[in-house]
Structure 1
Amino acid sequence: MSLGQDLAYHLPFLRRYARALSGSQTIGDRLVKQTLAAIVADQASFPTDVDPRLGLYAAFLDIWEDQGADAMAGEAEGDEAIAHRRLARITPRPRQALLLTEMEGFTSEDAAYLMDTDRAEVETLVADAVAEIERQTHARVLIIEDEPIIAMDIEQMVSDLGHDVCAIATTHSEAVAAARAHRPTLVLADVQLADDSCGIEAVKDILTDFRVPTIFITAFPERLLTGDRPEPAFLITKPFQRSTVKAAIAQALFFDDATVPA
């Protein structure tokens, strides 16, 4: 199997990581493209002693270290401007560790390899990131989920994180009505809803009324991470871990201007 075939499966998830780390689909996708170009230009340097996914993320982080800050500074509008205000309060390495372990599912050992450190420091960085982001953010959450047990589990997780659940909706129409009534500051949305409607369409209708960060939940992430626009910046795969939801909420709120400290 060629290197390209080895890496192809992992690219949608690398795009997810790049977008979450930068807070921008534009910047994240551009840095991923630069990563692939660098690998193609020098395939002999691609590590063969680790899993291809590790090698791919390591190559991306090399690009990120070189160009990430400049890329964000060059487009410091909207989400990027919000990110810069938050980045003044939390350093990038804790966020890298948080995303690698809790969203991307790397072990602490793998994250240590990617970040050129050790497991103990990774675990400390993750704890620091979670604590700092939680201090900065608080949300009113709309949950769009048609499976009662999953909805209850998410509601409990959201409450445990110190956020308020303003409503739970199971259909497209319920979701739109709840959003208009409660004006949530975060939406957690399943893709397939009870009336066979689509959570993505419900969110699109909500976004015509006001801007709100959204995290999609699906059993089939590859159907959404296709490289086409628009794509969700924050995506959780079913079955999910509580820590994954926690990390995704923290990152989504990280780029939301409603909770940026003055």
Structure 2
Amino acid sequence: MSLGDDLAPHLPFLRRYARALTGSQSHGDNFVRTTLETIVDNPEEFPKDVDPRLGLYRTFHAIWSTANIEEDVDPAGNNEAESIAQARLSKITPLSRQALLLTSLEGFSNEDTAYLIDVPSDDVETLVNEAMGEIERQTRADVLIIEDEPIIAMDIETIVRDLGHNVTGVAVTRDEAVAQAHSQTPSLVLADIQLADDSSGIDAVKDILQDFKVPVIFITAFPERLLTGSRPEPTFLITKPFQRATVKAAISQALFFDAATVPA
């Protein structure tokens, strides 16, 4: 099997990570594209002594760590998320955010994360705790949950409240979600795809985004319906069954790029 075949299954997830890290699909994809070009141009330098996924993320991080983040701008001209990130980065180090995303969103162990960001493994947990603590202090949100499974909805609601956020409502259908969003404007939406009346959480989010600019996290058992590569993909996508730490990390990162809570 070729190196390309080994890396292909991991590319959608590297793109997800890059989007979460940069707050921009186009900006994140630029880093992924540069990573792949680097591997193609210098295949002999690709790490041979680790799992291909680790080698892919290691190459990505080698490029990310040498980039001038303040000058890298979304080529589409929309660098609002970048400016928001810079405001937050004045309060939290990028290394801590990387550790948080790699462990909680991407599921790497502390040892693998240490390898990827080139720090001692004993430092990873400290970096993650620093990131979570600082982001939670910076952000407070009104959260709309769109989920038709009562037990899952209750679990998500508990996670949201434990982080110090307010839950504006729990909707189980598209129409109910839109109505609740208009009744009390959310600053974050957590949405399933398949809802109680066979309506779509994707459609509910589209309706909401027509009237409100709000970050969205999809939590679904059907991630392949969103990771198609044929249309703009969600920055934050969590697969069921989920880990609580994953949801917490995604919420923190989504709010990290939210203009409503940028620190003064």
TM-score range, shorter chain: over 0.9
Give the Cα separation in 1 of the matches to 2:198 and 2:31.
36
TM-score of the pair, normalised by structure 1: 0.97
Give the Cα separation in 2 of the matches to 1:132 and 1:73.
26
The answer as to whether partners of 2:141 and 2:187 remain within 8 angstroms in 1 is yes
Structure 1 consecutive aligned stretches of length 4 or more whose deviation exceeds 6 Å: none
SS at the partner of 1:180?
helix
Counterpart position of 1:118: 120
CA shift for structure 1 position 228: 2.4
1:20-57 Cα offsets, whole Å, 9 max, x none, are: 00111110001101100100111111111100000000
Equivalences for residues 34-113 of structure 1 within 5 A: 34-67=34-67, 69=69, 70-72=71-73, 77-113=79-115
Amino acid at match of 2:116: L
SS at the partner of 1:111?
helix
Counterpart position of 1:17: 17
Going from structure 1 to structure 2, the CA distance change for 1:237 and 1:222 (only over 3 Å counts) comes to same
Of the structure 1 ranges 183-192 and 224-233, higher mean CA displacement relative to structure 2 is found in: 224-233
Going from structure 1 to structure 2, the CA distance change for 1:233 and 1:82 (only over 3 Å counts) comes to same
Q: How many equivalent pairs are there? A: 262
Counterpart position of 2:187: 185
1:137-178 Cα offsets, whole Å, 9 max, x none, are: 000000000000000000011011100001000000000000
Give the Cα separation in 2 of the matches to 1:158 and 1:189.
13
Give the Cα separation in 1 of the matches to 2:78 and 2:197.
40
Going from structure 1 to structure 2, the CA distance change for 1:5 and 1:68 (only over 3 Å counts) comes to farther
Of the structure 1 ranges 31-40 and 62-71, higher mean CA displacement relative to structure 2 is found in: 62-71
Counterpart position of 1:138: 140
1:159-207 Cα offsets, whole Å, 9 max, x none, are: 1110000100000000000001110000000011111111111101000
The answer as to whether partners of 2:26 and 2:74 remain within 8 angstroms in 1 is no
SS at the partner of 2:217?
strand
Q: CA RMSD in A?
A: 1.3
Amino acid at match of 2:123: E
1:85-141 Cα offsets, whole Å, 9 max, x none, are: 111111100000000000000000000010111221011000000000000000000
The answer as to whether partners of 2:27 and 2:74 remain within 8 angstroms in 1 is no
CA shift for structure 1 position 223: 2.8
Q: Percent identity?
A: 67
Give the Cα separation in 1 of the matches to 2:225 and 2:54.
23
Give the Cα separation in 1 of the matches to 2:119 and 2:13.
23
SS at the partner of 1:217?
strand
- 1:174 corresponds, among 170, 173, 176, to 176
Give the Cα separation in 2 of the matches to 1:231 and 1:76.
16
SS at the partner of 2:219?
strand
Give the Cα separation in 2 of the matches to 1:89 and 1:161.
19
TM-score of the pair, normalised by structure 2: 0.96
The answer as to whether partners of 2:221 and 2:241 remain within 8 angstroms in 1 is yes
SS at the partner of 1:31?
helix
Counterpart position of 1:202: 204
Give the Cα separation in 2 of the matches to 1:45 and 1:256.
38
- 2:149 corresponds, among 130, 147, 150, to 147
